[in-house]
Amino acid sequence: MDDAKTIIARRAAKELSDGDIVNLGIGLPTLLTAFLDPALDITFQSENGILGMGTEEKENPNPDVINAGGAYVNVIPGANFFDSATSFGIIRGGHVDITVLGALQVDQEGSLASHIVPGKLVPGMGGAMDLVVGAKKVIVVTTHTAKGAPKLLKKCSLPLTAYSKVNRIITELAVIDCTKDGFVLRERHSSTTIEQIQSLTDATLIIPETVGIFD
């Protein structure tokens, strides 16, 4: 079977539609590009100042063109560069259709903790707080558990990156929507059961009549 990250990336790629403007977080979210249908017209925004980001450029990198993770990238025809105020104007102003980002914790109110573990890991929020507030749709991609402990919680215990902004969570086991009533299980991975997903989720899942299956 594929590893968890591959499963998540492949499923997350299906969330993107023709014409979408998309911002991908560094790491796991970026892996989904390998599974995109090349026929789709998708424009990637990078918050350091690009609309129309291409792929990582290893052969002939331009030292003046990086993505938000610091990797050298190329751009597609029609791309444009801008300053950080414009970039976050685009983000906060609702001009980004989808943001896909990772998480330390997500809770049933749709709140996200992704930027700080006090005393241990303090990278900072970077652009995440603005992205989660501004994007039309917020998708969290994460492994379902960390070292066996649930990451999908009743209530986040870590400092919040945003309160009640996550729309959908994709893990290697499940696709879960955050609704005003709580977590709704939309799909399960073909290798698992609803019972197993529930046992690895801190919050109680709402199980609709139909739960889809993904691979």
Q: Determine if 114 is a binding residue for other proteins (CB under 8 A).
A: no
Q: Is 82 in the site for other proteins (CB under 8 A)?
A: yes
Work out whether 49 is an interface residue with other proteins (CB under 8 A): yes
Judged by CB under 8 A, the chain residues 157 through 176 that form the site for other proteins are: 159-164
Cβ pair 81, 52 in contact under 8 A: no
Beta bridge partners of 183: 178
- For other proteins, the closer of residues 162 and 205 by Cβ is 162
Q: Which is nearer to other proteins, 37 or 83 (CB)?
A: 83
Could you give the CA distance from residue 214 to residue 82 in angstroms, rounded to a whole number?
38
Annotation says 209 is catalytic: no
At residue 146, the 3 state secondary structure works out as strand
d(CA 190, CA 111): 27
Check 15, 47, 109, 172 and give the catalytic one: 47
Interacting stretch for other proteins, rule CB under 8 A, among 2-10, 37-45, 114-122, 182-190?
114-122
Scored b (16 or more CB within 10 A) or e, 174-198 reads bbbbbeeebbbbbbbbeebeeeebe
Q: How far apart are CA 204 and CA 193, in angstroms?
A: 15
Q: Is 77 in the site for other proteins (CB under 8 A)?
A: no
User: Which region among 5-13, 78-86, 181-189, 199-207 touches other proteins (by CB under 8 A)?
Assistant: 78-86
Question: Rule CB under 8 A: is residue 154 a binding residue for other proteins?
Answer: no
Residue pair 31/24 in contact by the 8 Å Cβ criterion: no
CB of 2 to other proteins, least distance (A): 28
Binds other proteins (CB under 8 A): choice among 36, 125, 184, 207 = 125
Is the Cβ–Cβ distance between 153 and 99 less than 8 Å? Answer: no
- Residues involved in catalysis: 47
The binding site for other proteins (CB under 8 A) comprises 46-50, 62-66, 68, 70, 81-85, 87-89, 91-92, 116, 119, 122-130, 133-134, 159-164
